Copies of this chain bind each other. A is one copy, B any other.
């Protein structure tokens, strides 16, 4: 049963929310001010925190400031509650590391949805869920089972990166590996004509930038944020120590790098001979495998058309035309730019 901490100075709201969450089978802890909120967060270690932005004394920004710097609490999803639809406030909160926000008064379904989504993503980090065919990340997640919390919390050098931020680019020397708490990152190569091909995608629970360190060379690819991200930086030395000193860890790493090679080989086969139609289909599948977002139970793609084309390895226009085809065939649906996958199975096994 998940534990939610609710910090708000409005008693009526506290009771109301506590009731709703209680009915949805959450354990609810409440606090009436920022100070007691921080204390309870440290003592109870909730799975998620809801916190009013505006409070007398220590306000929401103060709370997140403190909690995001404490090794025991900095990973806990933090959702802001704001009084009005004030963009500036919301932005400030997100900039300080909040994972979401709710504008009061909020609908019950919004509340429950927001909480549920965040908890799911947090689970991916905490439980190190193994995605099938995810490749190397899986391994590192397994490493974590024993070690991550030491690794991460001893360092706890967490940063927020905005969309379009470049983590590193080709030719630079690596100093850290990155561990993704939230957000989406792409890693890509550029050819002489300036065309981009996305080779890897990362989201919560993944590690980024280990290949250059393992080979002891400069980066050969560029990594860029495509959805605002929270990342933990782990120094090169810590990482190498982990890899070099544990035989089991090394062995698993070998298996998974090996797996990665196979994955890339399959993609090679695809790019070499398949029709655009098939390439687009497998690009879509790749993305929903890496970024398992859902909308009403259906997989949904929220990256830009441009990035999707770069995954597929084709011109953007060509890719869009194929999306049209898929839409008329009811394989996908397009809502506000997002691609909702209606028939995943048929896409996976396209005949022509």
Contacts and interface: CB of A to CB of B under 8 A. Distances in A.
Interface of A: 189, 191, 193, 195, 197, 199, 210-211, 214-216, 220-221, 243-244, 247, 250-251, 253-255, 257-262, 264-274, 313-314
A268 B268 contact: yes
Dominant secondary structure at the A interface = helix
A197 B260 contact: no
21 contacts: A189-B268, A195-B272, A197-B272, A199-B268, A199-B269, A210-B258, A211-B258, A214-B254, A215-B258, A215-B262, A243-B251, A243-B254, A247-B250, A254-B254, A254-B257, A264-B264, A264-B268, A268-B271, A271-B313, A272-B314, A273-B313
A244 B250 CA distance: 9
B250 A254 contact: yes
B189 A266 contact: yes
A189 B274 CA distance: 13
B214 A265 contact: no
Given A220-B262, A244-B247, 17 more contacts: A189-B265, A191-B269, A195-B273, A197-B268, A197-B269, A197-B273, A199-B269, A210-B258, A214-B254, A215-B259, A216-B255, A247-B250, A260-B261, A264-B265, A267-B268, A271-B272, A272-B313
Nearest to A240: B251
Contacts of A251: 243-244, 250
A213 to B, nearest CB: 9
B214 A274 contact: no
Copy tally for this chain in the complex stands at 2
A262 B214 CA distance: 12
A254 B255 contact: no
A261 B264 CA distance: 7
A313 B268 CA distance: 9
A220 B273 CA distance: 18
Nearest to A350: B192
A314 B251 CA distance: 37
Contacts of A258: 210-211, 214-215, 257
A255 B191 contact: no
A330 to B, nearest CB: 23
Contacts of A253: 254
A255 to B, nearest CB: 5
A264 to B, nearest CB: 4
Contacts of A195: 272-273
- Which of A215, A221, A244 counts the most chain B CB atoms within 10 A? A215
Nearest to A273: B195
A1 to B, nearest CB: 37
A272 B274 CA distance: 11
